[in-house]
Structures are given as structure tokens and as C-alpha cells.
Structure 1
Amino acid sequence: MNLPDPFAPIAPSIDRALQDVFGFEAFRAGQRRGIEAVVQNNNTLIVMPTGSGKSLCYMLPACVMPGLTLAVSPLIALMKDQADALESFNIPATYINSSLSWDEQRQRLAGMRAGAYKIVLVAPERFKSQVFLDALAGLPIGLFAIDEAHCISQWGHDFRPDYLTLGEVRKQLGSPTTLALTATATPEVQRDIAAQLGFESPRVVVSGFERPNLFFEVYPARSRRAKYERIEALLDQTPEGSKVIYCATRKQVEEVGRNLRESGYYPALYHAGLSDQERDEVQDAFMAGDAPLLIATNAFGMGVDKSDVRAIIHFNIPGSVEAYYQEAGRAGRDGESAHCLLLFNRADLRIHEFFTENSFPDRKQIERLWSLLQKHGEGTHALDADMLADHLSRAGDDRVHPWAVGSALRLLERGGHVAFGQRGPTPWLQVMDRARTRELRVDWHALDARRRVDEDHQEDMVRYATGHTCRQLYLVRYFSDTAEDIPRCGRCDRCCGPPSYARDAGQVRAPIVVSEAAQTVLRKVLSGIARTRGRWGTHVVAAMLRGSRAKKVVGAGLDQLSTHGILSALRQDDLVRLIDVCAQLGLTTQNTHGCVSLTEEGTALMIASEPLPAPVAEVLARHLTSVSASPRRSGAPSSHQAAARQNEPPLPAHLAAHLADSELGETYLRTFALAREGHDYQSIAEQRGLTPSSVLRHFLKLAEHGYPLPLQDHADGRLLPELREVASDWSSHDKLADLKERLSTPCDYDTLKLNLAIVLQERFEHLQPLDAS
């Protein structure tokens, strides 16, 4: 068969294509193996992290293989960008999707038939169109590429029913060489993708999941205030590059944005509630570096490739390891050091439980909805999910969320029972038959399975957050069952202890001082948890261990337990911390209500008589110290933080001598030393590689702790007298925005902080904690 020129190979080999077509000198890790497998006509599954060059793995084979490459992607919004990128490499390509007019679609279909394109990008829904299938008939399909292939698997974190048809589509196309690409597929999902596509002996290439330039940290935050303090500490120590804070809901995006603005930061916000134009403007500003701090839901990030992202912060725990790795992996794509901080609070799991319950409603809810629709009868009605949810809520004891109704309607639509949509401002819903509830064409087994998959993903994410193994090792093992174990990575909090930015900000808690051996204290905690039989949460168990006679403790009879008061020398916060440590070590677990119980490992350790295993003893040593031991600072700085400070001179001797006993970290004392030398806050920020706002916060902390700063030149004759009155009991835990609102004297935040530092200093005029010379 004589192929038209566009269907003939563009380059004679993969190396010539790499250099002559794409202009690259070398392949990235894993790319050559995957590309060679495809070019040799092997059905191939490639699993590579976001940002590692997956797209080249179908674009380059398209250049050296004869025939048309058909590339499937669910990201309609990005198809134009991908087609434009291909055109920039002089590869004839186009996309066909619902964003185009019918006339434009017909022109492109005609061009495809005429051989005008080497690569055509389509969404999976396109194969429902008979017109499109007719246009494909007889064309030489050299490569069938499927991006985001995890969407095929019902065990994946982002399953999409339209992807299920692709195995049958592949057969209709004559089973061409097929490439499945994904950034997030566990071994189980990899096997399911291969099975769904009918691969008999596929080549599987999994690579690149260790990210040595990223520092992974999980911070167990007991409160929202603790989250904000940790975020601010990291932002202050990361002045360069871009930062993204991910939140689970748009409401939280707004809340976090408001709180950070009140603390003197200037974040941009991105979520699905914004108009398309607003989202585009925010994304353009972020990409241009004009909005270096972005707070977003997971609506942000698909197709965003920014090289200088220095920190990714998750305000809430994500719903799956796949989602977390994809989002965290947007940091450090330039190969330089970056930080990935997850703020873990078990209460945040309720958000994902809500998502799961409403994405996969139970059978009873779907049958109730169908009964309501039957009352309206066959035909078309002006109804939508909100209206139906309101009807169901008023008719029953439980409130039904519109999201759950929308999910149920989609299941009924898939079964051919209803159709629905929107005509202008008016909703419509068509009831298409009068099936009895037991005759509903809903795959109840698949629905239950999807709900369990979502729940399993959440449990996997909790294991990451609470586990005591190396973070990098957990991720490598999660995505590859054939990966070799990596040594202690030296790039996570499990291997290094608390990172340096937290230490410098004074956020590393001192060890709990005990009078007994650490293993004795641990076993007492485990015994107390065992006696409560998994019926109570962390705070109640801690109260019982310290001997509290609070109403809840006495009312539950916990004061009668043999473990009541066995750790009475410790504070409530200390015991809560130790119970959290038990969870991190895998010795305890919590149910959905937060009730604590022992795992098998916890029970075995409680009753054992031999010394603690080395990994347990090592973790415990970070949190406990005997009265005879001196506290030690733990944790190594991340490399980008160490690099930022490597040129700083040694701390002056008179300050270094105070460091061990100071409540403040070294970074504060360095700021103090420069201020005493006569540098203003902007000069200090420039010298230290910090933001001016960070240095001003240092001033407030230093002043609050009685360190004499030379701030007289900044005294504002109108503002200072009012501050002395209004801020008489202000502390660094209070919000500046609230204080600013109470002032009648107008001022900017910088002036406010400088004069507030003077007020804080005046409280300590009688103290001289350091020699000011």
C-alpha cells in the first residue's frame, strides 16, 4: 500500500527523531525503554511521574512509525496546547472534540481522511460518534495511544466509564500497536489496564518514582492555627520561586487565602467556582511568576508545567496516594530542591468520606430517587439535582445532597432510564420508562466496588501520613512491586527528623521529660489504649492515663480502670503527642469515629519483655528524654535551605552561647545580630534570602521575648501611642488584621509591625536577656 506522505515516517530512527525533530540531546530515565518497545510494535504500558516526559513516549514513535497515530486524552482543555506543541515541532497534528463547531469538526475529519495529519488527538467520548468511526474506516492506524490510562481501571483513583469502551474500540480499529500512558497506576491498576485493553504480553515500563530533589514532610496538625503557623514558617524560609497550597474544597481555598492575607501574604486563589476567564488569568499570572503564592483546589494543575515551584503544601490530606503524588510532583521540576508538606489532621478525612458517600450513593438512595421520578411519570420535566434533593430531604429523615442526586442520575442515565441536561437557564429531565426498582439497570456490584476502592485509597493515604517508614520508599513501593528498595533517602522527615525551617522557627517541640525508661512509658500508654477497648478517642484516653476525673472520664467508668492515672506526671498535651507517636509507628489505629485501638503490632509490643525494636526506639528518642538526659536538636536541613544559608557568617559568639537555652531558633538570632549592626529589615531580608515580611515577623518574635532591637527611627508619633493602648495584651499568636481594624490611625502592615515591635519591647525594658554590645 502506497501511503500518503503524512502517514509515512518523519524520521528514520528514534535517535534522529529525538535530535532533529524535538531538538533534545538525550532521553530522560525510562523514555528510551518505553519508546523502543512501542517502535518494535509491542503493546506497551508506561508509568512515569508527572513532568517526566510521558508525552514524548507517543509523540516520538508517531514520527518513526508508518500510519496515523490516534491519541486519546480526557483533557479537552489541553488538546489545543498539545496540538500546538506538535505543530511547533513541524509535526502535522490536530484535535477533534466538542469544543469545535460542527463545520470545523467536518473539515478536520476530511483532513484526517486526506492524510493531512500524522497525529490526531481525541477524547474517549468521540468514539460514540458514528460519523467519526466512519471517517476512521480504512485509515492506516499505526499507533493507538491512550493518555491518563488509569481512567480505564475501576481500581484507579480517577475511573471514567467512557474509558471502558477503549478495549472494544481497539478491536474495531484492527488491534493496532497500542500504548497506554499514566503517571499514577499501582501494580493492581497496571494489570487491570492491560486486561481491559486486551494486552496479552505487554511491555511494562515503570520508572522515576523516587524524587531525590524533593523533601517529603508530614506534619500532624492538631488545629487550624497549627496549620497556619507551619505554613507561614515554610513560606518565610522559601522566599524564592513559586508555592502552591492545595485545599480540599473551594470554601477552604477562600478561608486559607483570607487568613494568609491577614498575616501579610498576598496569595492568588484558584477553584472551580471562578469563571473560565478568572481561572485563565490566575493561571497565566502564576506561570509568569506574577502570582508566586497560589491557593487552589485540585482543579488546578493538569497540564501546568512550571519548573521553579519550590514548595507544594497540602492543607488537607488528599483522597489517594495517586492524587497526592501527582500534585506534590509539580514541585522541583527544574531538578533543584523543593519541599512537599502535608498537614495531617484525621478530622479532614470526613471531607473525603463525604465525597465518597455522594459520588457513590447507596442502593437505597438511588431507589428512593427512582420512586420519586416515577411519581412525576414518563416524559420531560423541569427538574434538576437541587430540586430533587430538596424533595427527598423533605420526604425523609436525612438530608440528601444534590451531589448524591447528580451521581444517582448519571447511573440511571447509563442504564437508559433517564436523560437530563440544561436548555439555557431551564433544566430538563426525561423519565424514559416505568421500570420497577428491582428492574433498574444499575450495576450494584460495580457501584459497591467503586465505593470500596475510594475507601481503600483513603486508607493508603493515611498509611503514608502515619507510617514510620521512609516517605520516598513508601511511594516507590506503592507504584512498583518490582522496584528495588532505596536506602534511607535523607530527603524526608522520617529519615531526617523535623526539617530545619521548623527548627529555626522554633516549631520543633522539646522532648517530653520522663522519670522512667522510654519503653516503660510507651507500654503504659499502650496498656491504657488496650483497656479502653477501642471505644474512645485520643483526648479521652490521654485524660484517663493522667488520672483526670472529668465528667466524661468518670461517666464512662474509665476512672475504674487499672491504667487510670498511671502517667499522672505527664500533661494532657504530652499524652496526646505520645498516642499520636503510637499511630505513626503503626502500633494503633483509629476507626472512622476517631476511636483508638491497638494493632497486632501494638499488642505484641505491649506484652513483650525484650527491649524495643531499634526503629521504634529511634522514633521514641525524638519525643522522650529521661531526667538525666539532655535534649538534643534533631533533624537535618533540607538542601535548598542549607544552600540559602551557606554563605552566612557564623553566629556571633555572644548569641551562639545563648542558642541552646533560647526559646527562639538560630534564624531569629541571626536577624537580631544584623539588626544590632544597624541593618534595616529590607537589608536583612536581602542579605539572608528571606522576604521582608518574614524579617518583620522575626522582629515581633524577638521583641516579644525581650530582645532589644534598634527601632527608635521607626516610631510613628500618631500610631505608637494608640498601639500602646490597643495592643497592651497582643501576642504573636493574635492576628494582625484584627489589631489593624481596631486602630483609628491609618498605616500599612510594615509600619504596624515595626511600631508593634516597639510596644512589645517596652514590656521587657527591665530585662536584658543578652549583652547588647
Structure 2
Amino acid sequence: MIGSYNLLSTLQQVFGFAAFRPGQQEAIETLLEKKRLLCILPTGHGKSLLYQLPAYLLGGITICISPLLALMRDQIQKLENSFGIPAASINSDQSEEENELSRQKAVSGHLRVLFVAPEQLDHVDRFAFLLQLPITLIVIDEAHCISTWGHDFRPSYRQILSFVKAAHPDVRLLALTATANARVEEDIKKQLSFDAQSVCVLRESMDRPNIHLSQIKVESTQEKLAICEELVRKFQGCGLIYCATRENSELVADYLKAQKLNVTAYHAGFSPEEKRKLQQEFLEDKYRALAATNALGMGIDKGTLRFIIHFNIPGSITAYYQEVGRAGRDGKESQGILLYDSEDLKIQHHFIEAALPSEADFEKVLAAVRAATEPPNLSAIKQATGLHPTKVTVIVADLAEQQFLVKKSQGGSQVYYSTPKVGYPDLSRYAMQLDVKTNELQAILDYATQSGSCRMAVLRQALGDKEVANCHHCDVCKKELSSSPASPQKIEQAASWLNDRPVPISAMKMQKVAAGISLLDGRLRTALFIRFMKGRQTDDALEQELASILKSTLKAFIQLNPVKAIVLVPSRTWMARDAVGELISDTLQLPLFKDLLLWHEVPASRQGELLNNDQRHYNVYRKMRVNSEEEPPRGTILLVDDYIGSGSTMKEAARALRATKNRIGEIIPFTLASVKWHLGKRGYV
């Protein structure tokens, strides 16, 4: 046994803390003595120390399995720079070179802590590599993800149990979560007791007395934008604005930037380098707020966050507790504000539908694998089935677990073979998950719409606290239910900005395509957008309103982007293509290349007829070429198309241009409209 004296001495000398927080010492002693522990602690309670200190004492390697990629970066920096404990990570946010360096450090004995994203366990080679390390402790962070009853159950987490079972029986096991009610707790205990070894459970109160909770009912996107501006100006310090989609995170950040507030977006679409840079800059107080999706998750270990604003209602009450719990980890007063618009429920219903496959979906995947001429990888299965990418990932993981598929490593890529197993897969867990997700969404909806119970008490009860008291400072307790703090003038200002705002087109680094713009945002469904999309196959010119917007927008855009030529993407359906090209050429006084790009092989389908972006990519890939009778321009090109969805056609046009020997400069995409395709079915959102 490692005594209390040793623990306290290590805490003070290595970690620089004078004393343990309540429950920390008991948890560490239990883990070291009993070997298996489930800890259910509130956000900001110091869960990281529960594995950092044992990792220092135990030697060998501690494997921490976590979905929070941003938190990995923060924890590694803290372990190495503050505590002198060598740490590294293996995850998809890093290059293969970075992951290989982490593997080399682990093999050579130069690591104490290795953070691993759960998806890494899906790959047979990586699974085998981790097992041969001298593991002394396995940590399951966000352990509710292994429970079918958990609000955030993930297919990749099934591999964790396989990994734990395959490890040496003496390896200690620590499961950590802030969001496990009694049913989830019991399920986690049951799963971790697979070999009759008992699992100890330590649970602390979920109360966060310094967070002041409130809800504001809103009726439009422009009202939410105006409220965000007012709140960011009102609150002191830094904060987070959680958004349900990448597009919304960029929308919020762009609007607040336009109002001279130092806010930027953060989501999974950014490169690993960009995410690392943004995270570090935010920790250094260079931004008032990040407008972030849950790609940020719990990944900012910044104890001084003074406010958390939810631009969209989250998918569950437990997710809300986790996210709002990032505020005030230093114990000082902080604010948690939920902007509630009933329209946002559509987003969450879409997420639920996208993640839960049907029996027919399973049959499609099995049929695709069996019909393939060679064992397919995940991308090939997505292309063959046309299913939503999330569904394919879920189904493949389940079919492998139920032994209808077997995965093998082939030339560095993971491929799938069908097995002789007969019968039908067991899909009962999906009915259970639908029930869990529907109830969780209803719980956060009840939280948002009720005005009779203390908000913190509602959250605590949902998280499993049996005895709760009123917080006395939420909007319900104070009987100060919030109305919109934004004036009608501010809301109108936001509405005008939405109508006039060009939609950013993200840079496409692999194809060396710079960031560009689109004039009309399909998500807003303006009358002008609807008329353009309906008339694009029949109208031979732009209507005057859209032509005026095009001219004024491009004149401003060209001041910052020194374009030298205009190139049109070939189209089989856009009637006004040539006329629009000439309008742009006349407006900017630049040469126009109408026929520089050609289809040397006509795509089999129109992009809008396809079901997912893998199909759209393969539909156009390597089917475009440069006209050999024309000399491509040098310098920066404005690449013009009618609308953009997946970006596959733009990427193919850029590939064809880059394939020439000419020294083409930057390629900047420009479209009249921007849409977001449905995934798993035809059409746009």
C-alpha cells in the first residue's frame, strides 16, 4: 500500500498543491488498493489528478483513453511543463509523423502518460501496438460513453472493454465521468466487472454553487446574434459560446467580429495546427470568447471562464451540465445562459436520426461488403451505401462486434471482410439508445421551458444527486426570468447583417484552394436564394437584385484579394453561367476563361442526386481537365460556380488546374449560393 504520507508528499513536491481537494485522496487510495474505480465527480473537481498522481507513482505507462482531443493537448502541456511528467498522445488531430513519434517514445520507455483517442482502438494494428506496452493503469475518461444508457454512447468505446479485457489482469482501471445517473452508474460497474473483480464507486455532489443559471427565450437567429453581442459586452472576462453546428460557430464569430468584439470560431473543421494555435491563444486571453462546437468539448482547461452561452439548445441535459460546468472552475461567480429557440430542436432531432441506423441500413452495409470485388475500407463502404457517414461508422463497429464482419490491416489501411455467420444482427441497443436520446432531449427541453424549479436543482437531479437544495441565484430562484436584453434596433441590425453577409467558403488545403465566398446562404432560405435555386436551370441571366449584390460584393472583395483572371467551372445545368462570367469580368475588368475547364468524362450523376459526400467526391474525381487549346492564366484565379455544397466539384476543378505545368497562383472559390447537403438522403438542408 502507498500510504497517505507518500501521497501528500508527492502532491506537494511534484504537483505543487498544498492539500487534496475533497474526495481526491480517498479516490487515489482506493484506486491503488482496490485496482478498479469509477469516479463520478462534477466538472472542475480535479479529476485529472486522480490519474496523474498514480501515473507518477506506479511507473510504466498510463493509457488515458479520451475523446477530448483539445483536452489532450492541454493536459500534455501541463504534465510536461508544470509537473515534469513525460506525456504524449495518439489521435486523428495529429499527423502520422506526430503519432509515430509518440509511439516511439512509448516503446523506448520515455513516456509516463499516453493519451489515446478511442477511435484508435478500432484499428487492429494500433490496438495490438498499445497492448504490448508496459501498461500499469488504464483510464477511461468520459466513461458514460461506454454505457448504452449514457447520453453520449459511442461505438468506438466498445473497443475499450475489449482492450481492458486483453490487458494484464493486474492493470489498474480508473473510469471518470461527470455525467452518470444511477442507471448509467450501474451499467458501467457491470461492464467493468467482466471478470468478477469488484468496482468501487465514489460519487460527489454535482452542485456548482458559483454558477448562476438563466434562460432567454428567443424567436430568430438575428435575435440570438444581437443577444450574444449584448452579453459579451456586459460580462467581464472570457467565455465560450457553444453552437450546435460548425456553420453556426462561424456565423456567431463573424457577427461578433463585425461588431468589433474579439471572438473567433473553433470547430472540427479546422486543421490540428489551427486548433492548437486557437486553444493556446484563448488560454493566453487573446480572445473574449470562442464560438465553439462540441469539438472543443471539455477541452479548454481554463479555470477563469466567466460565462458560457449556449447559442443552440444542446442534445441532452447531461451535455448541458458538462458544457456549462466549464464556467467558474476557480470558484468565482460565473454565468450560464441558454438561448432557447424551439426551432433548434430540429437540429438535435437530425443528430439523433443520423446516429441511429435501421435494419435496412445494416443490410445495405453487409450487402456492400459482400458485393465488393476486394475488401472495402470505410470510405468505400460509405460510397457504396450512400448512408450518413456516422451511421456507417456505427454499423461497421457493431457488425464487427457481432462477428458478421472481421477487420484486417492491409497495406496500412483497415479493410473489412464478411464472415460466414448467418442470422440477423441484434439491434436492440438502438431502440434503447433512441429512448435514452429522446428522453435526454426532452429533459433539456423541460429545463429550458420550465419556470417553477431551481435550475441547478433540476440539473443535479438529472445527474443523480438524490438530495438537492435551491441555489438561490438562478433566474427562477430570484424570480427574474430573463427577457431579451437586445433592443429592436440591435435585432434589426443583426437581420441586415445576415442578409448582406457573404458566406465564407473554407480553404481546401489539400487542393491548395484559398478561402472564398458565396453570396447566398441556403440555411437562411431567403426569397432571393429560393428564386435563384429554382431558376438556375431556366433563367439566362441574374435578376437585378442578385446582380447588384454580386457587383458590390466582388468590388469590395477584390480590394483584399488581387485576382488576375476569372475561370468558370463547367456546368451542364446552369443556364446563366456565361452571362454571369461576363458580368464578373466586366465588373472587375479582368479576363474571363469560359472554356478552360472541361469534363473529359461526364459525371454519372448530378451532385444533388447523390446521398453523401463520399459519393459526391467519387462522382467527379479525375473527370475534369484543362482545355489543351487554351493557355491557363498565371496569378490568382477566381474560380466561379453557381453553388457549393460538399466542395467536391471545386476541389476537382482545382486539381485539374494544378495538374497543368503553368504556374497558377492562388485559387479563390466564388459561388452565387451555398447549401448544406443532407447526408444519407437527397437534397439540401
Kindly name which structure, 1 or 2, has the bigger radius of gyration based on alpha carbons.
1
Q: How does 1:117-266 map to 2 (within 5 A)?
A: 119=113, 121-122=115-116, 125=120, 129-136=127-134, 141=136, 143-167=137-161, 169-170=163-164, 172-198=167-193, 201-238=198-235, 240-266=236-262
Residues 254 and 375 of structure 1, relative CA distance in 2, 3 Å threshold: same
Distance 2:414 2:121 in 1: 24
Which of 400, 405, 429 is the equivalent residue of 1:417? 405
Secondary structure at 1:495 match in 2: coil
Asked if the contact 1:166/1:197 (under 8 Å) is kept, the reply is no
Residues 246 and 422 of structure 1, relative CA distance in 2, 3 Å threshold: farther
CA offsets per residue over residues 505-529 of structure 1, 9 Å max, x none? 487xxxxxxxxxxxxxxxxxxxxxx
After TM superposition, the score normalised by the length of structure 2 is 0.62
Asked if the contact 1:282/1:291 (under 8 Å) is kept, the reply is no
Q: How does 1:710-749 map to 2 (within 5 A)?
A: 735=496
Aligned amino acid, residue 495 of structure 1: C
> Is 1:34 the counterpart of 2:19 in the alignment?
no
Distance 1:733 1:121 in 2: 42
Asked if the contact 1:262/1:735 (under 8 Å) is kept, the reply is no
- Aligned partner of 1:49 in structure 2 is 42
Point out the structure with the larger strand share.
2
Which of 332, 335, 345 is the equivalent residue of 2:331? 335
> Is 1:456 the counterpart of 2:456 in the alignment?
no
Distance 1:492 1:84 in 2: 36
Asked if the contact 1:378/1:434 (under 8 Å) is kept, the reply is no
Asked if the contact 1:148/1:181 (under 8 Å) is kept, the reply is yes
Secondary structure at 2:328 match in 1: coil
- Superposition RMSD in Å: 4.1
Counting aligned pairs with the same residue, the percent is 34
Shift of residue 309, structure 1, vs aligned partner? 1.8
CA offsets per residue over residues 707-762 of structure 1, 9 Å max, x none? xxxxxxxxxxxxxxxxxxxxxxx9778647989999x9xxxxxxxxxxxxxxxxxx
Distance 1:294 1:419 in 2: 39
Unaligned runs of 5+ in 1: 1-7, 391-399, 508-696, 702-729, 745-773
Q: How does 1:352-363 map to 2 (within 5 A)?
A: 352-363=348-359
Secondary structure at 1:185 match in 2: coil
Residues 146 and 386 of structure 1, relative CA distance in 2, 3 Å threshold: closer
Q: How does 1:519-538 map to 2 (within 5 A)?
A: none
- Aligned partner of 1:579 in structure 2 is none
Distance 1:497 1:203 in 2: 41
Aligned amino acid, residue 477 of structure 1: Q
Distance 1:317 1:95 in 2: 34
- Aligned partner of 2:578 in structure 1 is none
Secondary structure at 2:477 match in 1: helix
- Aligned partner of 1:751 in structure 2 is none
- Aligned partner of 1:582 in structure 2 is none
Distance 2:368 2:116 in 1: 38
CA offsets per residue over residues 236-263 of structure 1, 9 Å max, x none? 321x211221111112223333444455
Which of 90, 96, 99 is the equivalent residue of 1:97? 90
Shift of residue 26, structure 1, vs aligned partner? 2.2
Residues 306 and 403 of structure 1, relative CA distance in 2, 3 Å threshold: same
Asked if the contact 1:310/1:337 (under 8 Å) is kept, the reply is yes
The range that moved more, 59-68 or 41-50, is 59-68
- Aligned partner of 2:345 in structure 1 is 349
Distance 2:83 2:286 in 1: 31
Residues 111 and 9 of structure 1, relative CA distance in 2, 3 Å threshold: farther
After TM superposition, the score normalised by the length of structure 1 is 0.55
Residues 485 and 105 of structure 1, relative CA distance in 2, 3 Å threshold: closer
Asked if the contact 2:131/2:163 (under 8 Å) is kept, the reply is no
Secondary structure at 1:498 match in 2: coil
Distance 1:410 1:175 in 2: 28
Asked if the contact 2:364/2:385 (under 8 Å) is kept, the reply is no
Distance 1:379 1:200 in 2: 39
- Aligned partner of 2:417 in structure 1 is 432
- Aligned partner of 1:310 in structure 2 is 306
Shift of residue 202, structure 1, vs aligned partner? 3.8
Residues 42 and 480 of structure 1, relative CA distance in 2, 3 Å threshold: farther
Shift of residue 303, structure 1, vs aligned partner? 2.8
Shift of residue 292, structure 1, vs aligned partner? 1.0
Residues 70 and 408 of structure 1, relative CA distance in 2, 3 Å threshold: closer
Aligned amino acid, residue 284 of structure 2: A
Secondary structure at 2:442 match in 1: helix
CA offsets per residue over residues 271-322 of structure 1, 9 Å max, x none? 2222223323322322222221221111124331123322111111111122
Distance 2:209 2:377 in 1: 57
Distance 1:184 1:473 in 2: 15
Residues 216 and 175 of structure 1, relative CA distance in 2, 3 Å threshold: same
The range that moved more, 89-98 or 189-198, is 89-98
Distance 1:496 1:70 in 2: 46
- Aligned partner of 2:51 in structure 1 is 58
Shift of residue 403, structure 1, vs aligned partner? 4.4
Shift of residue 341, structure 1, vs aligned partner? 0.8
Secondary structure at 2:144 match in 1: helix
Distance 2:377 2:4 in 1: 57
Which of 487, 490, 494 is the equivalent residue of 2:472? 490
Distance 1:118 1:246 in 2: 33
Distance 2:325 2:338 in 1: 13
CA offsets per residue over residues 624-672 of structure 1, 9 Å max, x none? xxxxxxxxxxxxxxxxxxxxxxxxxxxxxxxxxxxxxxxxxxxxxxxxx
Asked if the contact 1:263/1:736 (under 8 Å) is kept, the reply is no
Asked if the contact 2:243/2:312 (under 8 Å) is kept, the reply is yes
Aligned amino acid, residue 358 of structure 1: A
Residues 227 and 489 of structure 1, relative CA distance in 2, 3 Å threshold: same
Residues 268 and 132 of structure 1, relative CA distance in 2, 3 Å threshold: closer
Secondary structure at 1:25 match in 2: coil
Unaligned runs of 5+ in 2: 502-547, 553-685
Residues 215 and 135 of structure 1, relative CA distance in 2, 3 Å threshold: closer
Which of 457, 460, 484 is the equivalent residue of 1:473? 457
- Aligned partner of 1:677 in structure 2 is none
Distance 2:115 2:497 in 1: 51
Shift of residue 386, structure 1, vs aligned partner? 6.0
Secondary structure at 1:494 match in 2: coil
Aligned amino acid, residue 181 of structure 1: L
CA offsets per residue over residues 168-196 of structure 1, 9 Å max, x none? 55454224443221222222111111111
- Aligned partner of 1:279 in structure 2 is 275
Which of 22, 26, 29 is the equivalent residue of 2:15? 22
Higher relative contact order (CA 8 A, sep 6+): 2
Aligned amino acid, residue 45 of structure 1: L
CA offsets per residue over residues 145-186 of structure 1, 9 Å max, x none? 332222221212232344335455545422444322122222
Shift of residue 225, structure 1, vs aligned partner? 3.4
CA offsets per residue over residues 556-589 of structure 1, 9 Å max, x none? xxxxxxxxxxxxxxxxxxxxxxxxxxxxxxxxxx
Secondary structure at 2:307 match in 1: strand
The range that moved more, 171-180 or 89-98, is 89-98
Distance 2:161 2:186 in 1: 14
> Is 1:323 the counterpart of 2:319 in the alignment?
yes
Distance 2:496 2:20 in 1: 51
Residues 315 and 420 of structure 1, relative CA distance in 2, 3 Å threshold: farther
Secondary structure at 1:174 match in 2: coil
